[in-house]
A and B are shown apart, each in its own frame.
Chain A
Amino acid sequence: GAVVSQHPSWVICKSGTSVKIECRSLDFQATTMFWYRQFPKQSLMLMATSNEGSKATYEQGVEKDKFLINHASLTLSTLTVTSAHPEDSSFYICSARQTGTGNEKLFFGSGTQLSVL
C-alpha cells in the first residue's frame, strides 16, 4: 500500500509555543490530505481538509487561526498548532488520498502525540 510519513511521532512543548507537524505522501501524489485529532479510546475527529494550492476547509468548531494548515505541494501538508496550551494535548493524525486513480483509499500517517506542559 501507499506510504504516508508523519513527523514528529511525538513532541513535548511548553505552553505558548507553536508546534509544526508534517505529513508527506512518499510514493504518490495527494491533492487532498486530512487532519484528525484523536483522544484516548475515542474515534478520529476530522479537523480539516487540506487541498493543495488552496485554503484548507475546517470542520465546525475548529479554530483555523489556532490550527494552521499549509498544503504547498502534492506530497506535503503541514499542521501548525499555534500558541499551544495543555488542552491541545492530543494525538494528531494525517491521511492522504491518492490522486487521479479513481481510488477512494485513504492512507494514514503514524500519528503525532503532542503533549503541552
Chain B
Amino acid sequence: QKEVEQDPGPLSVPEGAIVSLNCTYSNSAFQYFMWYRQYSRKGPELLMYTYSSGNKEDGRFTAQVDKSSKYISLFIRDSQPSDSATYLCAMRDTNAGKSTFGDGTTLTVKP
C-alpha cells in the first residue's frame, strides 16, 4: 500500500463549478502538507502549503488537513478553464529528507 493515495481522476467539470481534490495517507508523522499544480510539460507549481491540521484559504483555493482522519483536500471555487492541470498532493514529516507525492489528479474545466 502506498503511503499517499490520491483520487486518480481524471476529473471534468463545467466552468464555475466547485472542485474537490483529495488525498489520504497512512504515515501519522506527516506534518507538512502541500498541493502543487502542474501544467503539461512544466514543473509543478506550489499552490498551498499547510503545517499540521486546519484550513488555509488563498483566493479561490482552500486547503484542508484532517490529521485525525489522515485526509487532506484542496477545494477550488469558481473553477476556470485555466485551472485545467494535474494537481499533486505532497506531504512530509519533520525528519524526512524528502516529500512523498500522490500520483496526481488531472482536472479539466470546460468553458
Contact = CB atoms under 8 A, between A and B. Distances in A.
Given A34-B98, A49-B98, A107 B46 contact: yes
Contacts of B36: 108
Nearest to A113: B41
Nearest to A1: B46
Contacts of A32: 97
Given A43-B102, A43-B103, A104-B32, A110 B42 contact: yes
B88 A43 contact: yes
Contacts of A110: 42-43
A1 B44 CA distance: 13
Contacts of A57: 97
B92 interface: yes
Contact of B34 (A34, A93, A106): A106
A108 B99 CA distance: 13
Interface in B56-111: 88, 90, 92, 97-99, 101-104, 106
Q: Interface extent on B, as a size class?
A: 20 to 34
Q: Interface extent on A, as a size class?
A: 20 to 34
Contacts of B41: 91, 111, 113
B77 to A, nearest CB: 22
B101 A44 contact: yes
Given A34-B98, A43-B104, 18 more contacts: A1-B46, A43-B88, A43-B103, A44-B44, A44-B101, A49-B98, A93-B44, A95-B43, A104-B32, A104-B49, A105-B34, A105-B46, A105-B49, A106-B46, A108-B43, A108-B46, A111-B41, A111-B43
Interface of B: 32, 34, 36, 41-46, 49, 51, 88, 90, 92, 97-99, 101-104, 106
21 contacts: A4-B43, A6-B43, A41-B106, A43-B102, A44-B44, A46-B98, A49-B97, A57-B97, A93-B43, A95-B44, A104-B32, A104-B51, A104-B99, A105-B49, A106-B90, A108-B36, A108-B44, A109-B43, A110-B42, A110-B43, A111-B42
